[in-house]
Amino acid sequence: MSGGLLKQLAYTLSSRCFTTFSRPSTHPSPSRFFTNRKLREFSQPNSLAAKFSTSSPETPTPSAEPFASPFLSVQIRCQKHVADMLSEALLCFGASSTSIEEEDNYDGKDKICIDSIFPVGEDVNTCISRAADSISLKEIPSYEVRMGEPFDWIKKTQESFHPVEVTEGLWIVPEWRIPPDAEATNIILNPGLAFGTGEHPTTKLCLLLLHGLIKGRELFLDYGTGSGILAIAAVKFGAASSVGIDIDPQAITSARQNAALNNIGPEKMQFHLVASQNRSPLIDPCGVVEDQSSSGVEAISETDKYDVVIANILLNPLLYLADHIVSYAKPGAVIGLSGILSEQLPFIIERYSQFLEGISITEMENWACVHGTKKQNLAGS
């Protein structure tokens, strides 16, 4: 979870992500729903943490003055098979960071401990309750809360990111580190708390898909842009222009900063803030708003049709927003969908078969990316 609208997010589509979705009642409960990182540190107190999509707080920069702030340290005990998806859901409902250690000392064969950080003043019980409900847990897991000591969050966040080689000749490089290969295509990133660092399998799958699709002069839409990584990559691969959308204003700020780090100007790349369905009365039934300069919300016209559209969010928003996602693509355009586990593929195939032909699947570490070509004669195309 690129992010994660959204790996984001997506429970990155909640009031903090794109929109909040519960598992469709007709779907069997997935054994896992979210990221499978054993240690996850997207952290900064007072942030509106989110994956989705796509979303996250304003990016700290290496030159910024280090700051320390008190926080709540919360240990949550849950069943092992739900730990990943609960961990990710927590990020979208108030947690600033979550981590699952490879070796857990909790005495329970079927249980594991999620170490999480919350800003002081956050309603931890409500957050955990909503996170549990969002992934259809029948009971709220037990947890313990203690006050943490002031901590340099910027330094900790920066130390956790290293250059990532996605494929030969393609690197994701944190702003504060030296590219391992100066001749490669290097995407410089200050991820902050936005989803999309290049480490997660779904981000890699989307980057590999883009790398193969972009031949030159395409128009690309990143649906749930998070850090902006996919939009930036598309331009570096040769796209004529990229557009990224997200519901988190801080994700948009982060994405714009990352575009600047890669010397990509607004003539090539634009990022638009759109309204979450459950937090703005301005949104239309499709989830796009009219231009509202006073609120900072921007319009993105559905008459804009893109050659490539990728939504790297999560299962439920992909299902719920399918018509909206597809509406941005030209007939014959390629649509990529990720943020899903391999076991969730049947739901995506069933939902999108009415829109796409030539559907293909790529997988990595139990995560999947689906892509296909938009059918020519769809209503509204």
Q: Which residues contact 325 (CB under 8 A, 6 or more apart)?
A: 223, 309, 311, 318, 335, 337
Q: Closest Cα partner for 353 from 324, 319, 317?
A: 319
Condensed to tens digits (0 to 9), the pLDDT of residues 249-261 reads 888 999 999 999 9
Give the pLDDT confidence score for residue 302 in this predicted structure: 55
Condensed to tens digits (0 to 9), the pLDDT of residues 4-45 reads 343 333 333 333 333 223 333 222 222 222 222 222 333 332
Condensed to tens digits (0 to 9), the pLDDT of residues 305-342 reads 899 999 998 898 999 999 999 999 999 999 999 999 99
Give the pLDDT confidence score for residue 300 in this predicted structure: 62
Residue 198 binned pLDDT confidence (cut-offs 50, 70, 90): confident
Condensed to tens digits (0 to 9), the pLDDT of residues 62-114 reads 333 444 567 889 999 999 888 988 988 898 888 988 888 655 555 557 889 99
Give the pLDDT confidence score for residue 50 in this predicted structure: 32
Question: Which residues make beta-bridge pairs with 364?
Answer: 367
Whether the predicted pLDDT of 127 surpasses 70: yes
Whether the predicted pLDDT of 2 surpasses 50: no
Residue labelled with tokens 């997207």: 42
